[in-house]
Amino acid sequence: MDLIFGSIERAFDLLRRRVPWIALLIAALGWLAATAAFIWVTRLDSNGTTSQDVQWSSVAFVDLPPLVLLVIVGIRGIAGVPPVAWPLGFAPVVVASALIGVVYAGSRQGGGYGWVVSLWSFLYAQMFVVIVASVDELARRRRHGPGGYRHPDDERRARRRLLQVKMLIAAVSLVTVLVGLGADGYLDRLGAVGDLQLGRSGTRVASIAILIVPLLVLALFVRHRWTARVAALATALTVGLALFALPTRQRADTALQYGWLVCTVLYLLLKAANRTYWPAWPPSAYARGAPAYPGPRGSTGGAPPGSPAVPPVGRAADRGRRPRRRCDLDPGLRPRLRRGLLRWRLLPGMTVQCRNRGGWSPAQVTV
């Protein structure tokens, strides 16, 4: 799951950073196509003389607040968006994706293609997230150059906000499905509570699904590693109970229709638990840069005065892991350095002093 979702995400990030205009064009075309499908569904469900009014009011509700948010992002960037404008801009996208697309896909009018409608509605929201990220990239390039930020914490805040939005869209969609799922595997109508029960106990799956809402809220807004992990575990257990409560003939169809949504929620929760930019508290020591440790026996110990700690870079830092770098040493000195590390019981990746031709220099080694 991490390979599939991670590859898609890295491909979009690479496209957004290398050619942001092309990424913006692709995401805009996908979002417009999803919006056109939403307008078609609205017209299909409407009847009589009020069809045009219902259609255009729905389009105004879904499109105007996100467009205002895009204007603010283009001017101030993601990190500079006011806290009030961020949820207001994404609220119509979440409502259209979760409460309309997913519920319509799970109804009896889906015609066997409900999973296509639900996936299309979810991609509608994700394409808008890519549009926001591409507009932010263009705005930052115009002001600070490629890869530049106004403040060192702006990149962390922007990544965290985008991940929060993705988690919110997926979590609301999944909770809507679990609460409204009926005994026949369908969703009756918008806002209706399903009658799916766990065997003969009389306990409804909707009641269990409501219990995981506080855990998802804690994972989204408290932003602790363990809140995300506990929410992922509770979500997996609830989905397993719901699948077990369904009739045998409906399990395969329901798993096919909403399995991708469950995988997305679990992936995003576990991803948040393993990212250094997600926690609400300051990053740990290895994210700020490992401190200097004494070198082999006979050395003066510690890093030379004025030498900064080596910060994490690359994919290892993005995943919240200690980066591994090779020390710039002569091949003949590396075995002696390994013996010194084992002798002093130092761990791989620590900042140590290495004897090089240019003198003492701090470097991270891989044993």
Residue 212 has phi, psi (to 5 degrees) of -85, -10
Give the per-residue pLDDT at 109.
60
Residues 6+ away with beta carbon under 8 Å from 351? 290, 291, 292, 293, 303, 309, 310, 362, 363, 364
Per-residue pLDDT of the chain (367 residues; tens, 9 = 90+): 455 555 666 676 777 677 777 777 877 777 777 667 666 665 554 444 444 444 566 666 677 888 888 888 888 888 778 878 888 888 887 777 766 656 666 666 655 566 666 677 777 777 788 888 888 878 777 776 665 566 667 777 778 888 888 888 888 888 888 888 877 777 766 666 777 777 777 778 888 888 899 999 998 888 888 899 999 999 999 988 888 888 887 788 778 778 878 888 898 899 888 888 887 765 544 344 444 444 444 444 444 444 444 444 444 444 444 444 444 444 444 444 444 444 444 444 555 444 444 444 444 444 4
Q: Which of 243, 262, 228, 219 is nearest to 122 (CA)?
A: 262
Angle at which helices 154-180 and 85-94 cross, to 10°: 30
Rounded Cα gap, residues 37 and 124, in angstroms = 10
Q: What is the pTM of this model?
A: 0.62
> Is residue 169 within 8 Å of residue 126, measured between CB atoms?
yes
